[in-house]
Amino acid sequence: MSIWTVAGAAALTLACTFGASATTIKVSTFDAGSYNSSFGGPNATGEDFETLGANMGEGEVGASLGTAVGTFESLGGTGTGGSVIGTGTELALRDGKLFGRQNTVPQGGSWFLDSNDTWGMKWDVETGGLFNKLTFVVNDGSDVGAFLRIIAGGETKELRTGGKLPNGNARLVQIKFGEHIDSAEIILGNFFTSGGDRYKLNDGFSIDGIEVSAVPLPASVLLLGAAMGGLGWAGRRKARKA
């Protein structure tokens, strides 16, 4: 097999590996035992807010919160509900249990990131590596009338399709991007109506147990690197002979 054949095959495989395809968003009932037992697996970056909470303490996090899985900030609005801490304009780290919101990962932990009754959260996902899937737990969403909508990669998914969800409900969200990427924007926004564009305040929710699955460098990429290196060597050898 010639070096050109190897390079062509590797390039084709690389294109397939990193080619774009549709994003999917799946929402299911959260199983604490099952998820906690698999959390923190290989090739994944996790964030459970335990270290951040212990270091920063309970309260609003400022204009943005940097974490192991990217940066979080409020979508806007000023929360005025009974669970609001601080100004009600920022997201908040919370400890313990609050109006149905509570820690979900790890079991026996304390901390989670709360919407603080604002319109919701914008999450700029970044881990310093490639990923194609992420999972996280949403707690207590859509129980006071809002339609909590998840937006990622041009796709949307609403937490409820009918009536209000129960107080303290926990949902596992899994987003698959269908391609290998190094950044993404996730919106978790509260809206007055299903499919509407008007944000709603004071239906607080929290997130916890975030896991962003990294993609190990496939063998095809290593093959391509070797092939390109060989092509460079062959080109230099040919130039010397000329």
At 204-238, the pLDDT tens digits run 999 999 999 987 655 554 444 444 455 454 455 55
Mean pLDDT of the chain, nearest integer: 87
* Alpha-carbon separation of residue 159 from 93, 137, 153, 228 (angstroms): 22, 12, 17, 47
Q: Which amino acid is at 111?
A: W
Q: Can you list the domains of the chain with their CATH numbers?
A: 21-218 (2.60.120)
CB 53 within 8 A of CB 93: yes
What's the rounded Cα separation, in Å, for the pair 28 and 31?
A: 9
CB 39 within 8 A of CB 169: no
At 91-107, the pLDDT tens digits run 999 999 999 999 999 99
52 pLDDT above the threshold of 90: yes
Confidence of residue 11 (pLDDT cuts 50, 70, 90): very low
CB 188 within 8 A of CB 120: yes
